[in-house]
Amino acid sequence: MERQGQATERVLRTFFREAVCCLDRIFTRHRVADDAVWDAVKDLDLLYQRTRRGLRGEGTPDDPVRSDRPHPGILRLIEKLDRERGP
């Protein structure tokens, strides 16, 4: 039987994989510059690894990596996620 931690990591891995595939479709459709794609990949890997460490009790996953001026759509999603997190 799968332990809770293993199940959580599996869900995290599945989510990140789906998010990366979604971004790949967008990057391809809009012909995003290669260096921008690599920047996104590096940041996503950083977020994934930091979140995994947090799940294992090895670090804090709540330290956000944010730009100084996010796109309004990105800002809206960040605000929604912050509201759902609660106190």
Task: List pLDDT tens digits, range 8-66.
Answer: 999 999 999 999 999 999 999 999 999 999 999 999 999 999 889 888 888 765 556 66
Q: What is the pLDDT of residue 65?
A: 60
- Would you state the pLDDT for residue 86? 66
pLDDT exceeds 60 at position 1: no
Measure the CA angle with vertex 49, ends 45 and 50; round to 5°.
Answer: 115
Rounded distance, CA 57 to CA 74, Å?
A: 28
Q: Please say if the pLDDT value at position 3 is more than 90.
A: no
**Domain limits of the chain?**
4-85
